[in-house]
Chains A and B, each alone.
Chain A
Amino acid sequence: MPEGKELYMLMLRRMMLIRKFDETVKDLVQSAELVGMAHCYIGEEAVAVGACTALRDEDYITGNHRSHGHPISKGGDVRRAMAELLGKATGYCKGKGGSMHLADFDIGILGESGIVGSALPVAVGAAMGSKMQNNDRVVISFFGDGASNQGACHEAMNLASIWKLPVIFLCENNQYAVTTSFKDTVSTENVSDRATAYNMPGVLVDGQDVMAMHEATVHAIQRARAGEGPTLLEAKTYRYEDHSEGLNRILREPYRTEEEVEFWRQRDPIDIHSKWLLENDVASQEEIDKVQHDVYEAIGDALQFARESPYPDEADLFTDMFADPIPLR
């Protein structure tokens, strides 16, 4: 597990990777090279990066439709992610999942679910599996303020609590479920206030501060590995883009003010972390610029790889349906 400067620079790199990946995704949607829906993580990078850099490779995560940030934060392969978004056979899911369904089971990424809230019970089950196999692996389940109202979320928290499972429920509260403000839909002041209903700690964290995210997650992981059970972390964050790319073109009425968006742009997580690195003499501007440069190259390379990769074949339609295949009908 990296620590000190190695860790802080890793955080910078991964946040920059997510930022550049999703800025590229924006362009691809604009030019219609990327089809279907894309939900950008821009503005929220510190949440997943702070959290996932506290995990080991063999620990697990589950996530949701706003999926690109989670696998990149856990060390996923941006080439395979980009190829998946373009529907190519070299993608993570052989082109069968797309943007909302990235997964990398080799590094414990048990999948991003397009149905919000739907992956929380799955995360609980993975934690059950860890406990039964005595391997002290933990699970982080990423979900949003919108998903925190789903029944599955509450059932999952109750199960995790009664069975003292090593799962961290990490609510990425970007304050809107599509266009609906969490203030109008969540019955408590904060999502983390719901933790008391499930007899677990509820911790509110500044989601724009990657170091604060990391620290809060480290504590929750320690709790989990010690057999003390689940934690509900709530990261207050903000998405600078629309819910999904292109939504602004069809919205009939604005759901947030330009002032509000601007306020949160002033709290850009990459700027905050860069400033911290400089002010604390951890890194120089040259070193930061180098990371940025390397990231641009990596994403450029990923895009080229994705573009040059082949599409899957018609023959692939029925592969991967079953581990023990059955005759086609």
Chain B
Amino acid sequence: MGEITYSDALNHALKEEMRRDEKVFLMGESIRGGIYGVTGGLSQEFDKRVIDTPLSENGFMGAAVGAAAVGMRPIVQSLASFAWVAMDQLVSQAAKMRFMFGGQVNLPIVYRWGLLYGNNIAAHHADRPYPMFMNMPGLKIAIPSTPADAKGLLKTAIRDNDPVMFFEDNNLAGSRGEVSEDPEICIPFGKAEVKREGADVTVVTIAGMLRPALAVADELESDGISVEVIDPRTIVPLDTKTILDSVEKTGRLVVVDPAHRSCSVASEISSIVSQEGFWSLQAPIQRVTSLDCHFPFSPALEHLVYPNEDKIADAINLTLE
């Protein structure tokens, strides 16, 4: 066991799985050079299995479907903001193919998406599209928040025989954590993790929101408020039982999600708990999300758009009033 970064954890997962199964290969733009950190050095060991593509997201993400259909196990990467360019292949092919053809084919594909927000990168590069994909049946979705989860979930994603959308919050790239070196440790999908136990309020966090939520929980501890923080880790499948059990205990729910407010994952979780955990609730559910405006460039404006510690603390206090 050792402490490594989130980026390194992903790199280790890729390396281990590529060693384990020669059908696994990588595709993406400028991945041999590893400009996004994670794939750096992999071309030295795996050469032809690390493929730099032209700027053709719709083309090569669809090619991943075809390669998977004939027995390969592609891992494709891009920025979350370029998912729109490939939408037809992701939806009409990757998400729908298996069902539409009556189960005749397995599509063991991992699409890895970098979430870039909060770094003055402006509207075209700051997307958090996972709620839209949650609404499209046929895609599993993992969103790790710690290095250990990043490695364990990516390994599961690669071994899974279905298309997985794997979102990596770039704000966590340099975050450090204990990660096992055992190449057989995989984290199952559909198992949320209680990242911090508490008794007074349940806070569910998505992606990079784990860290500010934990910071707020520590602060509120000294005010006598006990916050339980839950990380779903995968939103498809979603571990609703862990969330509902927690709300049954605390009676209060705050969901923190960097996606835009309308139809966010926060909205879906709120809806589920309103319906299935209604009688446990002592107060209305609070959602802390990005505003329904685009991410502006200016450093004076951008930080106002997405969740922060103050907004999380305010939401928790609202549930306790």
Among B88, B105, B190, the residue within 8 A (CB) of A118 is B88
* Contacting pair A97 B101 (CB below 8 A): yes
* Contacting pair A322 B54 (CB below 8 A): no
**How many A-B pairs with Cβ below 8 Å?**
165
* Contacting pair B63 A122 (CB below 8 A): yes
In the complex, what residues of A have CB within 8 A of residue B162's CB? 322-324
B301 at the A interface (CB under 8 A): no
Q: Which of B68-100 contact A (CB under 8 A)?
A: 68-72, 74, 88-89, 92-93, 97-100
In the complex, what residues of A have CB within 8 A of residue B161's CB? 322-324
B147 at the A interface (CB under 8 A): no
* Contacting pair B65 A121 (CB below 8 A): yes
Q: Which of A128-155 contact B (CB under 8 A)?
A: 128-130, 132-133, 137, 139, 151-152, 155
Q: Count how many chain B residues have C-beta atoms less than 8 Å from C-beta atoms of the other chain.
A: 48
CA distance A125 to B66 in the complex (A): 4
CA distance A257 to B62 in the complex (A): 38
* Contacting pair B65 A122 (CB below 8 A): yes
B140 at the A interface (CB under 8 A): yes
* Contacting pair B59 A124 (CB below 8 A): yes
Q: A121-B61, A155-B59, A158-B59 are in contact. Are A129 and B69 (CB under 8 A)?
A: yes
Q: State how many angstroms separate the Cβ of A85 from the closest Cβ of chain B.
A: 13
Among B53, B58, B67, the residue within 8 A (CB) of A152 is B58
Q: State how many angstroms separate the Cβ of A242 from the closest Cβ of chain B.
A: 24
A115 at the B interface (CB under 8 A): yes
* Contacting pair B98 A321 (CB below 8 A): yes
* Contacting pair B101 A123 (CB below 8 A): no
B116 at the A interface (CB under 8 A): no
Q: Count how many chain A residues have C-beta atoms less than 8 Å from C-beta atoms of the other chain.
A: 52
B130 at the A interface (CB under 8 A): no
* Contacting pair B99 A320 (CB below 8 A): yes
Q: Which of B221-259 contact A (CB under 8 A)?
A: 236-238, 240
A94 at the B interface (CB under 8 A): yes
A111 at the B interface (CB under 8 A): yes
**A 309-329 binary contact with B (CB < 8 Å = 1; else 0):** 000000000011111101101
B64 at the A interface (CB under 8 A): yes
When C-beta atoms are compared, the residue in chain B nearest to A156 turns out to be: B59
CA distance A184 to B305 in the complex (A): 47
CA distance A123 to B72 in the complex (A): 14
Q: Which of A277-329 contact B (CB under 8 A)?
A: 319-324, 326-327, 329
Among B89, B104, B137, the residue within 8 A (CB) of A103 is B104
When C-beta atoms are compared, the residue in chain A nearest to B104 turns out to be: A105
CA distance A120 to B89 in the complex (A): 10
In the complex, what residues of A have CB within 8 A of residue B54's CB? 158-159, 162
A170 at the B interface (CB under 8 A): no
* Contacting pair A121 B62 (CB below 8 A): yes
In the complex, what residues of A have CB within 8 A of residue B59's CB? 121, 124, 152, 155-156, 158-159
* Contacting pair A323 B106 (CB below 8 A): yes
CA distance A121 to B86 in the complex (A): 11
B138 at the A interface (CB under 8 A): yes
Q: Which of B186-242 contact A (CB under 8 A)?
A: 189-190, 236-238, 240
When C-beta atoms are compared, the residue in chain A nearest to B139 turns out to be: A322
CA distance A172 to B189 in the complex (A): 44
* Contacting pair A321 B137 (CB below 8 A): yes
Most central of B25, B66, B97 by chain A CB within 10 Å: B66
B103 at the A interface (CB under 8 A): yes
A126 at the B interface (CB under 8 A): yes
Q: Which of B124-181 contact A (CB under 8 A)?
A: 137-138, 140, 160-162
When C-beta atoms are compared, the residue in chain A nearest to B85 turns out to be: A151
When C-beta atoms are compared, the residue in chain A nearest to B70 turns out to be: A129
CA distance A106 to B25 in the complex (A): 24
* Contacting pair B101 A111 (CB below 8 A): yes
Q: State how many angstroms separate the Cβ of A105 from the closest Cβ of chain B.
A: 4
CA distance A60 to B70 in the complex (A): 9
A91 at the B interface (CB under 8 A): yes
A127 at the B interface (CB under 8 A): yes
Q: A121-B89, A129-B70 are in contact. Are A326 and B140 (CB under 8 A)?
A: yes
CA distance A104 to B237 in the complex (A): 29
In the complex, what residues of B have CB within 8 A of residue A152's CB? 58-59, 62, 88-89
* Contacting pair B103 A132 (CB below 8 A): no
Q: A60-B70, A324-B162 are in contact. Are A151 and B93 (CB under 8 A)?
A: no
B2 at the A interface (CB under 8 A): no
* Contacting pair B69 A324 (CB below 8 A): no
* Contacting pair A105 B88 (CB below 8 A): no
In the complex, what residues of B have CB within 8 A of residue A95's CB? 102
* Contacting pair B65 A125 (CB below 8 A): yes
A contact set with B: CB distance below 8 Å: 60, 62, 91-97, 101, 103-106, 110-111, 113-115, 118-130, 132-133, 137, 139, 151-152, 155-156, 158-159, 162, 319-324, 326-327, 329
Offer 22 A-B interface pairs, CB within 8 angstroms, sorted by A: A60-B70, A91-B102, A92-B102, A93-B101, A106-B104, A110-B69, A111-B101, A118-B93, A122-B69, A122-B89, A125-B68, A125-B69, A126-B66, A129-B70, A132-B67, A133-B70, A155-B59, A158-B56, A159-B59, A159-B63, A162-B54, A320-B98
B contact set with A: CB distance below 8 Å: 25, 53-54, 56, 58-72, 74, 88-89, 92-93, 97-108, 137-138, 140, 160-162, 189-190, 236-238, 240
7 extra interchain contacts, Cβ-Cβ under 8 A, other than A92-B102, A132-B72?
A96-B102, A128-B67, A129-B67, A322-B138, A322-B140, A323-B103, A326-B140
